[in-house]
Amino acid sequence: MQSLLNIFWLGIKELRSVFSDMLLVALIVYSFSFAIYSQANAVSETVHNASVGVVDEDDSTLSRSIRSALMPPYFQTPEQIAAREVDRAMEQDRFMFVLSIPPGFEEDVRAGRQPALQIDIDATAVSQASLGAGYIQSIALAEVNRYAARADVETEYPVVLVNRRAFNPNGTQSWFAAIVSLLDQLSMLTIILTGAALLREREHGTIEHLLVMPLRAVEIALAKVWANGLIILVAFTLSVLIVVEGLMQVPVAGSHLLLIAGTTVYLFAAAAIGIFLGTVARTMAQFSLLIMMTIIPMMMLSGGMTPIESQPAAIQPFTWFLPSRHYMAFAQAVVFRGAGFEIVWPQFLTVAGLGWVFLAASLALFRRSVSTSR
Amino acid sequence: MSDTPEPIARAVGLSHGYGDVRALDAVTLDIPAGRMVGVLGPDGVGKSTLLALVSGARKLQTGSLTVLGGDMADARHRTAVGPRIAYMPQGLGKNLYTDLSVRENLDFFGRLFGQGRAERAARIARLTQATALDAFLNRPAGKLSGGMKQKLGLCCALIHDPDLLILDEPTTGVDPLSRRQFWQLIDAIRAERPGMSVLVSTAYMDEAERFDWLVAMDGGRVLDTGTPADLKARTVSDNLEAAFVRLLPEDRRGSGGELTIPPRPQDGDDGPAIVARGLTRRFGDFTAVDHVSFEIQRGEIFGFLGSNGCGKTTTMKMLTGLLEATEGEAFLFGHPVDADDLATRKRVGFMSQAFSLYGELTVMQNLKLHARLFHLSPERTASRISELLIRFGLTDQADARAGALPLGIRQRLSLAVAVLHEPDMLILDEPTSGVDPVARDEFWELLVELSRRDRVTIFISTHFMNEALRCDRISLMHAGQVLVYDAPDALVAAKGAATLEEAFISYIEDAVGTDGDAAPDRKALADTPPGAAGGKPLSRFSPGRLLAYSMREFMEVMRDPVRLAFAFLGSSILLLVIAYGVSLDVEDMRYAALDLDQTPQSRAYLRNFEGSRYFLETEPLGSVAEMERRLRAGDITLAIEIPPGFGRDLLKGNTPGVSAWIDGANTIRAGTIEGYVAGAHYSYLADLARGAGIDPEAQQAATVEPRYRFNPSFESIYAIGPKAPAMLLLFFPAVLMAVSMAREKEIGTITNFYVTPTNRLEFLVGKQLPYIAIGFVNFILLTFLVVVVMGVPLKGSLLALSLGAVLYAVAASGFGLMISSMTRTQVAAVFATTILAMLPTQQFSGMLQPVSTLEGGGRFIGQVWPATYYMHLSVGAFTKGLEFRDLTRDLIALAWFSPVFVAVAALFLKKQEK
């Protein structure tokens, strides 16, 4: 009971400290508003605004109709270039795709000689290359077929495939990007804020002052966890309600309460990592390097950039130790799939467990780190 | 006011404030030239502000100040006279670089004043011989004793033969022997260069006797000026401390009268309160405390007298359990000291040397917080706080932020907090440093009352002799050892000395052996010819000064191998994590079939999925409900639903439909899956046609031949491999740069930039160079990893890539400089650099999505962010195999960033402190 009171009062002090530094407050507001909004909205539809060059050596009705079928928003208006310019233009990155229509193309189609179109694809534009090439291919072939059949005939296939997207019927990119962005900000801010709060107390000597009072290290650590976690939790909740649901119109399928509960558990784990780094580092320079080495993998390997199952087998076991991976799975399940607690409880348990491990590790090193700090 | 016709400095109506606090209040003063002028007064009265203004380190606010015949508000005059002034800021070794050796520190200052190699060597030899530092030339400044640090600071200040030497509290916290030597040294230097004016501030009243002329200050105003004899005569006092108190306005003089300490009642013997036996603490090979033993009785005021760094604080930390003793044992109230013993901690109040309360909280909030942490009941809290506010005279400041209070009041608050829970013992680590004599007397009245009335045991450390005299017993500490402990009078008597200070010096001399080698060598000073470089004009921009900063920064970085190893090893590991972890190749995606038909035809359709490396089949689904449940649980990401009657309809030619349910939560993956599903579907249709004897390809009116250029196998590694280093080559130099710059501000070494003839560009670019080098070495390392470990060949121009890496490192460190020029603390610098750089680098630079296909603000940010151009350049050079001329556009774009960043940094970096 007394211990809880200590944690409470120390936490209140922590809150006052954060709010007295306007720069920190400004950066938190920036992260949960502008950063999330711009990150989610910058990510466009799967193929968007791709630059296309066309080498039209046929210049026929058909070739012109193919050219004009490549339209925004998927493609920029195609630019005509000469065949000898192709290599140079691709190298200079003027075009992501170059479509070459050979001379006599229209005539060959009419004669049933099955002429070939050629698409040069900049295969270094990974995400766009294969999808965009597929789009160009189907658009071009549709035009050719229509021309050959002289009508808007649907090709009769024996079986029709209907693609249905569950949980995000229109495949709106910003929905997913918003969640990834939220996770990134949660991890980054919580870890830096909590770790820096500890390091600051160590640098100013106030931690020694606390340690000569009848307080346990665990109370000091937990006070920082709850106070900094609470600030981020409030920012997160406001961001979900105002920015994500309000401004960006992303529907949250699951329970808000469950989402906040899961985020609370994640914040505990992230803050514990912050405490851990703040305990291990001796100087701000070391702390900043540790931060880099922690948050970059946490953000890159959470499954937000690359699905876990697509990551190499050598890395997958390592990512299991990243709380962000489990939180990502949890957040996707709740926000999009409307999953309930009966589905996401394993993630709750894992994240909480990881948090305790980091906290326990920092407590074990706590006194030693204070005594070597000077 | 002054009898000297030509003052070295003249202030008229000089005022200076920090926020609401007024440090100088309309000071009008002439400081005579060619003398040793002392500015006298406790901390926080404006001495440091006055000295910093005279030196040009602080920016003038109101009033006028003429120094060396020119207006200090005029930047040109400051630049012109700067080299004639030397300034040593307050704080032990504050302007020294602790990681650098004595020689390197001196060498750095010499370079700043444009001295050649031979001249520097000669000057360093002369100064270090005179100060007996020549035996320690290779010792890092951080490992020198307090007295030696001050001597080194003085050497650094004297390296360019200044006409005006400004020393801000040069002897505070230095042991009495070193202090005496320091003044002898100053006298020797003045004997050699009689024209030099010296302006010194001090809080030790006894030191002021040796100055030619005094300025007594209090509350931002000048109380009086004149020779020490004048001041004493005018106030009818026999010493300067008394004179100073009498100069104070009526209401500031305190209770008047001498502080009397009643004798300690010799009552019941209830055992010693503190016992230390053979207490020892080592840090590495350095012994901070060496077999210290003592016993302190209950209710006793026990003093710990010694210089900074002699082990006082370390001993106190061991007694409070903050530090573990390497050897020996300590007991509080008969219990061994144990860090986990919360019950004993409740009986002890501790006040550490630096103000360690929360400056952002008010006086009231600080008191309440501590009352709660000691679990005082609400009623007790209220009565205790109101009692303490009155007793410690804090009532008027109850709602003021603790950080904004003058030092004396802060110290009173610290003591109030320490006694709040009525402890039986107080451990006070230099509680009165920097507190004015009146406040110090008041503070001691409180201590005496606690000791004699409440029988609180007080263990106090100090470096003031007159405070030590007030203790019941004192121990003299030097270099980690307790030399002797007894009642002050007994110690003086034992040495037959006149004062405690003399006795202490004599004890130290006993301990270190008769000195002589440590005393200043007047002969060495007298022998050397006076400096030649005094009036040499200094150029506005000097590559030498720029390189001096680079060399210094480089040496500092090299002295912290942990940081360097982190930077290189960390970025290598991260490169592998990013390059292998970020992949757009969807593989082994779990799917399940909902085959409601169960005919040979439906099974034939599903076979197209079973064999694929993209898909991993899981247990088939039985119902739509099960499908929804498993999709929801994330167990499967794709479900293929074949409707009943599929086989029959197919045979009849009725065009049955198949549904592919894709988990659309991760939109990027869903798009890829759609493509794969369509592929499997078309391959089924082709099989079907071939089965019917039709060549599906012959049916097409035209065909399409895709040509994947630059990356024919279409593996992500060829695109991500070259891009991943861009992230690391930005973050590491930027953050390290930002921290280094913010550190100079926090530690105070930035003063050297203010008071030496360094211009902004020399400072910024000079500091930047080592980080550019780090960035480039990192680039070589990462390129090696990309080529050798990841097997991504470098097909294009290595020269262009290398040049790009240099430009990129310049831009990255420039960004770090820019951010840190706007932030005050290291914490804020790290926070801001990371947060502001992360989003554009990770999302808007084309790592996954080309910048040209981004939308809105993201696209704009991407276009004005260096990582975009470096990623583009790197992919061009590695995978596309481009030559130099094809990459010039990126190189030109990259070259633009640093000048802009550095220009903004220069704009925010002021040449003077506010």
Q: Find which of A90-94, A324-328, B67-71 is predicted with most confidence, using mean pLDDT.
A: A324-328
The one-letter amino acid at A88: R
Assign domain A52-149 to a CATH class. alpha beta
Task: Give bridge partners of residue B362 from the DSSP assignment.
Answer: B401
Tokens of B820: 């840190």
CB contact under 8 A, A212 and B365: no
Report yes or no: B3 and B31 within 8 Å, Cβ to Cβ. Answer: no
Q: Give the residue on A whose Cα is nearest the Cα of B845.
A: A42
Q: Of the candidates B224, B252, B280, which is a domain's last residue? A: B252
CATH of the domain at B300: 3.40.50.300
Residue B358 lies in a domain: yes
Nearest residue of B to residue A182, measured between CA atoms: B839
- If you ran DSSP here, which 8-state letter would residue B84 be given? G
pLDDT exceeds cutoff 60 at B669: yes
The residue with greater pLDDT, B773 or B406, is: B773
Please write the tens of the pLDDT for every residue from B346-401. 888 888 766 677 877 889 998 999 898 888 889 999 999 998 888 877 888 888 88
Type of residue numbered B284:
G
Q: What percent of chain A has pLDDT over 70?
A: 95
Q: Under an 8 A CB cutoff, do B702 and A141 touch?
A: yes
How far apart CA A27 and CA B145 sit, in angstroms, is 42
- Say which range, A203-212, B630-639, B870-879, has the weakest mean pLDDT: A203-212
Question: Under the phi-then-psi rule, with left for phi > 0, alpha for psi from -120 to 50, and beta for the rest, what region is B284?
Answer: left
| Nearest CA distance, A261 vs chain B (angstrom) | 18
Return the residue of A nearest to B840 by Cα.
A39
Q: Express each pLDDT in B182-213 by its tens digit.
A: 888 888 888 888 888 999 988 777 788 889 99
Indicate whether B179 and B298 sit together in one domain.
no
Beta-carbon separation of B838 and A169 below 8 A? no
CB contact under 8 A, B589 and A309: yes
CA distance B708 to chain A (A): 5
Least confident of A263-267, B709-713, B807-811: B709-713
| Percent helix, percent strand, percent coil in chain A, to nearest 5 | 65, 5, 25
Residue B44: pLDDT over 80:
no
CB-nearest to B650 from A159, A212, A292 is: A159
Q: What is the DSSP letter of A78?
A: P
Pairing of strands B638-642, B589-595: parallel
8-state DSSP, B559: T
Whether residue B427 is contained in a domain is answered as yes
Tokens for B320? Answer: 């409070």
Q: Which residue has the tokens 């989003």?
A: B839
Domain assignment present for B512? no
Mean pLDDT taken over chain B: 84
Cis upstream peptide for B263 (omega within 30°): no
The verdict on residue B502 lying in a domain is: no
| Contact predicate B720/A124, CB 8 Å | no
Q: Helices B176-192 and B117-130: crossing angle, nearest 10°?
A: 130
Sign of CA pseudo-dihedral B284, B285, B288, B294: positive
DSSP for B409-431, written as a single string: HHHHHHHHHHHTT--SEEEEEST
Domain boundaries, chain A: 2-43+169-371, 52-149
> Which residue has better confidence, B696 or B708?
B708
How far apart (Å, rounded) are the C-alpha atoms in residues B243 and B216? 10
- Looking at CA atoms only, how far is residue A355 from chain B in angstroms? 22
Structure tokens at A306: 């690359």
Of A23, A124, A209, the CB nearest to B352: A209
Residue A103 pLDDT exceeds 70: yes
Q: Residues B537, B538, B544, B545: what is their CA dihedral angle, to the nearest 10 degrees? A: 140
**Burial class of residue A364, CB neighbours in 10 A (0-12, 13-18, 19+):** exposed
Helix, strand or coil, per DSSP, at residue B753 = helix
B633, B828, B843: residue with CB nearest A39: B843
Our CA-based measurement puts residue A98 at a distance from the nearest CA of chain B, in whole angstroms, of 10
Interface with chain A: mutation pick from B375, B666, B879, highest number of A CBs within 10 Å: B666
Domain count, chain B: 4
Pairing of the two strands A116-122 and A160-166: unpaired
| pLDDT at residue B901, rounded to an integer | 94
Q: From B184, B475, B536, B121, select the one nearest B310 (Cα to Cα).
A: B475
What are the Cα distances from residue B894, in Å, to A291, B50, B494, B818, B867?
Answer: 27, 46, 75, 16, 9
In angstroms, the first-to-last Cα distance of chain A is 34
User: Do B735 and A167 make contact, defined as CB atoms within 8 angstroms?
Assistant: no
Say yes or no: B420 and B554 in one domain.
no
Q: Flag if B566 and A370 touch (Cβ within 8 Å).
A: no
Q: Which residues of B861-871 are buried (b: 16+ CB within 10 A; e: fewer)?
A: bbeebbbbbbb
Residues A299-329 have pLDDT tens digits of 888 888 777 877 777 788 888 899 999 999 9
Averaged pLDDT of chain A? 86
Q: How does pLDDT run across B607-657, given as a tens digit for each residue?
A: 888 877 788 889 999 898 999 888 888 888 899 999 998 999 888 888 888
Query: Looking at the domain assignment, is residue B534 inside a domain?
Result: no
**Same domain? B631 vs B655:** yes
Contact B790, B717 (CB under 8 A): yes
Smallest CA–CA separation between B864 and chain A, in Å? 15
Q: Is B850 left (phi over 0), alpha (psi -120 to 50) or beta?
A: beta
Whether residue B650 is contained in a domain is answered as yes
Strands (E) in chain A, as ranges, are 52-56, 79-80, 97-101, 116-122, 160-166
Q: Pick B835's closest partner by Cβ from A27, A39, A213.
A: A27
Average confidence (pLDDT) over B3-8: 66
Which stretches does DSSP call E strand in B240-381? 272-283, 286-297, 301-305, 327-332, 335-336, 348-351
Percent of chain B with pLDDT over 90: 20
Q: Do A163 and B678 touch (CB under 8 A)?
A: yes
Region A106-121 average pLDDT:
87
In a domain, residue B702? The reply is no
First to last CA, chain B: 30
Average pLDDT estimate for A92-107? 88
Residues counted in chain B: 914
B900 found inside a domain: yes
B156 in the same domain as B105 = yes
Residues of B in contact with A371 (CB under 8 A): 317, 322-324
- Quick one: closest CA in B to A1, which residue? B375
Q: Are residues B662 and B735 in the same domain?
A: no
pTM over the 0.90 mark:
no
* Pairwise CA distance, residues A318 & A115, whole Å: 51
Q: In whole angstroms, give the CA distance from residue B752 to residue A120.
A: 60
Range of the domain at B234: 7-252
C-alpha span between B314 and B562 (Å, rounded): 26
In tens, the pLDDT along B816-846 reads 999 999 888 888 898 899 999 988 998 888 8
Instruction: Identify whether residues B98 and B180 lie together within a single domain.
Output: yes
Residues B656, B768 within the same domain:
no
Collect all residues with Cβ–Cβ distance below 8 Å to A1 and sequence separation of at least 6: none
Percent over 70 (pLDDT), chain B: 92
Q: Residue B596 maps to which CATH number?
A: 3.40.1710.10
Task: Give the position of tokens 């696209």.
Answer: B859
Mean of the pLDDT values across residues B113-118?
Answer: 87
- In this structure, the answer to whether residues B109 and B29 fall within a common structural domain is yes
Nearest to B634 among A123, A124, A337 (CB): A337
Q: Mutate which of A306, A319, A341, A369 to test chain B, going by most B C-beta atoms within 10 A?
A: A306
Pairing of the two strands B197-202 and B213-218: unpaired
- Nearest Cβ partner of A49 from B663, B853, B886? B853
Average pLDDT over every residue of A179-184 = 91
pLDDT tens sequence across B283-320: 777 788 888 888 888 888 999 887 767 788 888 888 88
Same domain, yes or no, for B63 and B185? yes
Q: What is the pLDDT of residue B252?
A: 67
Confidence grade of residue B23 (pLDDT, cut at 50, 70, 90): confident
Selecting from A133, A165, A370 the residue whose C-beta is nearest the C-beta of B322 gives A370
Q: Which of B537, B520, B517, B518 is nearest to B192 (CA)?
A: B520
Residue B529 has pLDDT above 50, yes or no: no
Same domain (yes/no): B817, B900: yes
Do both B671 and B726 map to the same domain? no
Q: Which residues of A touch B573 (CB under 8 A)?
A: 293
Domain end among B694, B725, B755:
B694
The answer to whether the CB atoms of A289 and B708 lie below 8 A apart is no
Spell out the residues 6+ positions from residue B26 whose beta carbon is closer than 8 angstroms to its own.
B13, B14, B15, B63, B221
Which of A225-239, A296-310, B501-515, B856-870 is predicted least confidently? Answer: B501-515
Taking alpha carbons only, the member of B424, B477, B446, B448 closest to residue B297 is B424
